[in-house]
Amino acid sequence: MKIVAVIPVRMASSRFPGKPLLDIRGLPIVEHVRRRALLCKTFSQVVVATCDVEIASVVEGYGGAVLMTAASHPGALDRVAEAADYLECTHVVNV
């Protein structure tokens, strides 16, 4: 069994645009979330799924894995579903 955690992230949130890169105690929020997901030893891999190059650059700068997805997704689950198409795993967890 191979379980992959997918963290769907985008900059254009309607309630708080730019939130994923907001700095909290020296790290952007997306990196805090990614690091917490890495603590779960059940996950074989943790991937950030985004349509934003800015987010991808930050995550990769911290050594994280990124899958670029379409900007047209109406919701986070659609982004996770697209990412799942590219992953070799038995299960996907939306984080």
pLDDT for position 15 = 85
Residue 6 has pLDDT above 80, yes or no: yes
Contact present, 92 and 84 (Cβ < 8 Å): yes
pLDDT for position 12 = 87
Q: Please write down the long-range contacts of 68-76, taking CB distance under 8 Å and 24 or more positions apart.
A: 69/8, 71/10, 76/8
Contact present, 73 and 80 (Cβ < 8 Å): no
pLDDT for position 90 = 97
pTM above 0.75, yes or no: yes
Residue 13 has pLDDT above 80, yes or no: no
Q: What is the pLDDT of residues 36-85, one digit of tens each?
A: 999 999 999 999 999 999 999 999 999 999 999 999 999 899 999 999 99
Chain-centre distance of CA 79, in angstroms? Answer: 9
Which residue type sits at 44? S
Which residue type sits at 2? K
